[in-house]
Amino acid sequence: MRAVADTSVYISALNFGGTAEEVLTLARARAIELFTSFAILTEVEGVLIRKFQWSANRARDAIALIREFASTVDPEMSVEAITADGPDNRILECALAAKAEVIIPGDSHLRVLQAVQGIPIMSPREFLDRQARRG
């Protein structure tokens, strides 16, 4: 299963654990293929530093860890489908470039779309429940 997680999934996993961390655990175990982009990783690093007061070194270490289990793609297409939260468009760009089979957002801006070009959008809980049913 080719998946793209949005910034809030990474932030939640790194700071609070829970279902977001379970998604990343699947990627670390290679049970799913997780994809990211430079723009997503840059946003994760910035949020960790600005909103959660992580040191720059700690944030860089977290990004290095993500790079160990997530493949980085370089989107060639620009998307402007979401006006309420512009950075969420980078998630869509990554998903299209990665030929993702699912987008996993932690916030509501992406979930409202339900799907983009045939790629379903599911909360971390919905995604984990689907994976559990698949066995």
Summarised one tens digit per residue, pLDDT across range 38-63 is 999 999 999 999 999 999 999 999 99
pLDDT value at 103 more than 80: yes
Predicted TM-score (pTM) of the model is 0.93
Please check the confidence at residue 85 and state whether its pLDDT lies above 80: no
Confidence of residue 112 (pLDDT cuts 50, 70, 90): confident
Q: How far is CA 73 from the centre of its chain?
A: 13
- On the question of pLDDT at 83 being above 80, the answer is no
**CATH of the structural domain 2-134, one choice from 3.30.360.10, 3.40.350.10, 3.40.718.10, 3.40.50.1010:** 3.40.50.1010
Taking 80 as the threshold, does the pLDDT of residue 80 lie above it?
no
The C-alpha atoms of residue 7 and residue 4 are separated, in whole angstroms, by: 10
In which band, very low, low, confident or very high, does the pLDDT at 135 lie, cut at 50, 70 and 90? low
> Token pair of 90, please?
């980078």
CA–CA separation, 5 and 92 (whole Å): 10
pLDDT of residue 84: 67
Query: Which whole number is the average pLDDT over 89-102?
Result: 95
Which of 44, 110, 92, 99 has its CA nearest to residue 71? 99
Whether the predicted pLDDT of 82 surpasses 80? no
Query: Amino acid identity of 2?
Result: R
Annotate 3-33 with DSSP letters as a single string. Answer: EEE-HHHHHHHHHT-HHHHHHHHHHHTTSSE
For residue 40, the SS3 value is helix
The pLDDT score that the predictor gives to residue 88 is 84
